[in-house]
Amino acid sequence: MGKLDGRVVLITGAARGQGEREARLFAAEGAKVVLTDVLDGQGEAVAKDIGPGARYVPLDVGREEAWADAVAAAKEAFGKVDGLVNNAGILRFNELTGTPLDEFQQIIQVNQVGTFLGIKAVAPEIAAAGGGSIVNTASYAGVTGMAYVGAYAAAKHAIVGLTRVAALELARRNIRVNAMCPGAIDTAMSNPAQLDPEADAEQASRALDELYRKLVPLGRAGRPEEVARLALFLTSDDSSYITGQPFVIDGGWLAGVSVV
């Protein structure tokens, strides 16, 4: 018996990285999964590989009408939606005063507005299904400062606040809302070498680990499957009395600075 038997969960940004691992793990735990992304070819391939309990639906999370279409497609495929993982996000590095306005707005539109639109579109469906959970992907940068990612940090801080408000408002509808705050995770977002077909993926991962060896007490970057397991915990009944909370998963990075 799986932890998510009978559940239908929509996961954004599920064509690769954390979202893909979440979709695969949720399916293995008995859920029907609706994978959404703007990377249609990759998303369709992942859904096909997972099997008949998965569907891929194109979704630009920053467009409200696209959310309505995605929810309708999910209900057509599986009859209901009672879980949401707002995973989709983008990252750009730039000095704050040198960040173009359109770049700042793009990051806010995808990361912050996309999360808001997901809650707005899916919460009524979860309530109609009798309740469930929403997991928002914030960041280590959503609970502390980080230089050169001002727009990203602003959006991720907003997601933490939005999570708390949503938890308060949706509790009476039997919907729990929590946030994950990952640190450096070995995905294409933090490790672009993964997108280079000629690159050695293992070597790229070792290089990322080396970069964070002195910053992170556990001495390495996180793995997407580790974040997926946290998403599973927050989606399943294992966390039935938890709502409105940000969960930092960063190998101890936020704990402080070691002098050793």
Cβ contact 4:30 at 8 Å? yes
Q: What are the residues whose beta carbons fall under 8 Å from the beta carbon of 44, sequence distance 6 or more?
A: 56
The secondary structure of residue 198, as a DSSP letter, is T
Q: Residue 76 belongs to what H/E stretch?
A: helix 64-78
Q: 92: exposed, middle or buried (C-beta count within 10 Å: 0-12, 13-18, 19+)?
A: middle
Catalytic-residue membership of 56: no
- Please pick, among 56, 152, 212, 241, the residue that the annotation labels catalytic: 152
Residue with tokens 């000629």: 198
From 82, 81, 74, select the one nearest 133 (Cα to Cα): 82
Residue in 116, 126, 159, 113 with CA at minimum distance from that of residue 34: 126
Structure tokens belonging to residue 112: 């912050």
- 9 DSSP β-pair partners: 33, 83
SS3 state of residue 216? coil
Alpha carbon distances (Å) from 257 to 11, 34, 59, 81, 219? 34, 40, 40, 42, 13
Task: Write the CB contacts of 46 (distance below 8 Å, at least 6 apart in sequence).
Answer: 14, 15, 16, 20, 23, 24, 35, 54, 56
- Catalytic site positions: 152
